[in-house]
């Protein structure tokens, strides 16, 4: 049994960069220079990082259609309020219910209380489920926000919405922040970082003499896990990987590793299938104020 363990941004640039390894997708963004308050939906919604392909519209989503979206509906698979943090990518998963005669065309997403919404195209290869990765700005403070999600079909028929709330905890950040989240409950995924001194930081060794530390470790689903250097992260290589430690009913899971530096952020996405599986995510090379991946 495992030892006891504790416990962005204005959408100026959301750039799909490349495929790293066999199944890791990378997104690069800029870091906001202000404090972001999750309790202020009108402001907070402008700094959330949405998935590639999302479009923003000022106003409210189209009203639900009488009779629904041609038999399609969306339901919540997350239990209660999902915990996330600044500098994290929270992955909210929803089931799409309906018949094979009608497939989803896309989704409307809105932060409750905001004056805008987002339209996100459906993934035709996964019509039964919608995973919504939301990048939480590194400058976020403690708070909570809620999102509403609608599904619509090719005839623009719209379902009634479902709501999911996310609690944001302020975790360590600074010179370098490495954050892990995943999209299944009842699973334990671990974040590991080998720093330039050769020290491995993870749940069983939470600090390094270089100043790196693990300040949150999650054992039962969604994350986040967070390793950071507040000041003066040393030059050299940082090797980042994730390991599937425990499966208590969660099964296959998608992970999201978000790396935040003073000049920007990158998000790496991949899949873990079973207990004991390890996935190398990225090697960070730091020289002075320059970071390469």
Q: Round the average pLDDT of the chain to a whole number and report it.
A: 87
Task: Annotate 241-253 with b (16+ C-beta within 10 A) or e (fewer).
Answer: bbbbbbbeebeeb
What pTM was computed for the model? 0.83
Q: Which tokens hold the place of 37?
A: 């308050």
pLDDT band at 51 (very low <50, low <70, confident <90, very high): confident
Instruction: Assign 3-state DSSP to the chain and report helix, strand, coil percentages, each to 5.
Output: 0, 50, 45
Q: How far apart are CA 47 and CA 38, in angstroms?
A: 10
Residues whose CB is less than 8 angstroms from the CB of residue 60 and which lie 6 or more positions away in sequence, other chains included: 110, 117
Across 46-71, average pLDDT: 91
Q: What percent of the chain has pLDDT over 90?
A: 68
pLDDT > 90? residue 256: yes
Flag whether pLDDT at 14 surpasses 70.
no
Q: Does the pLDDT of residue 209 top 90, yes or no?
A: yes
Please say if the pLDDT value at position 28 is more than 80: no
- Residue 163 scores a pLDDT above 80: yes
Average pLDDT over residues 112-128: 93
Residues in the chain: 293
**Lowest-confidence region among 33-47, 105-119, 190-204, 224-238:** 33-47
pLDDT at 25 over 90: no
Give 195's pLDDT tier (boundaries 50, 70, 90): very high
* 26-30, 56-60, 242-246, 287-291: least confident range: 26-30
Instruction: Assign 250 a pLDDT band (cuts: 50, 70, 90).
Output: low
Q: Is the pLDDT of residue 72 over 50?
A: yes
135 or 24: which leads in pLDDT = 135
**Domain assignments of the chain as residue spans, ordered by start:** 15-30+171-292, 41-168
**Taking the domain 41-168, which CATH number applies?**
2.60.40.10
Give φ, ψ of 188 to 5 degrees. Answer: -125, 105
């Amino acid at each position: 049994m495992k030892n006891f363990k504790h416990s962005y941004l204005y959408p100026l640039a959301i750039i799909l960069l490349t495929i790293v390894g066999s199944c890791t997708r990378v997104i690069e963004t800029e870091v906001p220079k202000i404090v972001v308050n999750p309790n202020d939906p009108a402001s907070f919604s402008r700094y959330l990082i949405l998935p590639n392909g999302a479009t923003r519209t000022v106003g409210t989503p189209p009203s639900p259609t009488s009779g629904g979206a041609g038999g399609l509906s969306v339901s919540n698979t997350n239990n209660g309020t999902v915990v996330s943090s600044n500098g994290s990518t929270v992955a909210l998963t929803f089931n799409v219910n309906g018949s094979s005669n009608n497939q989803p065309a896309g989704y409307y997403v809105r932060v409750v209380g905001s004056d805008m919404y987002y339209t996100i195209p459906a993934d035709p290869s996964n019509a039964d489920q919608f995973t919504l990765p939301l990048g939480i700005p590194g400058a976020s403070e403690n708070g909570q926000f809620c999102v509403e999600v609608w599904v619509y079909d090719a005839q623009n028929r719209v379902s009634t919405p479902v709501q999911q709330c996310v609690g944001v905890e302020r975790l360590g950040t600074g010179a370098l922040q490495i954050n892990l989240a995943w999209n299944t409950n009842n699973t334990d995924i671990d974040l590991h970082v080998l720093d330039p001194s050769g020290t491995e930081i993870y749940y069983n060794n939470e600090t390094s003499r270089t100043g790196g530390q693990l300040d949150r470790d999650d054992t039962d689903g969604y994350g986040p896990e967070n390793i950071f250097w507040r000041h003066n992260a040393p030059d050299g290589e940082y090797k980042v990987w994730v390991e599937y430690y425990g499966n208590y009913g969660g099964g296959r899971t998608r992970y999201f590793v978000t790396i935040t530096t003073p000049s920007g952020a990158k998000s790496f996405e991949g899949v873990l299938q079973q207990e004991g599986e390890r996935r190398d995510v990225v090697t960070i090379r730091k020289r002075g104020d320059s970071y390469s991946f």
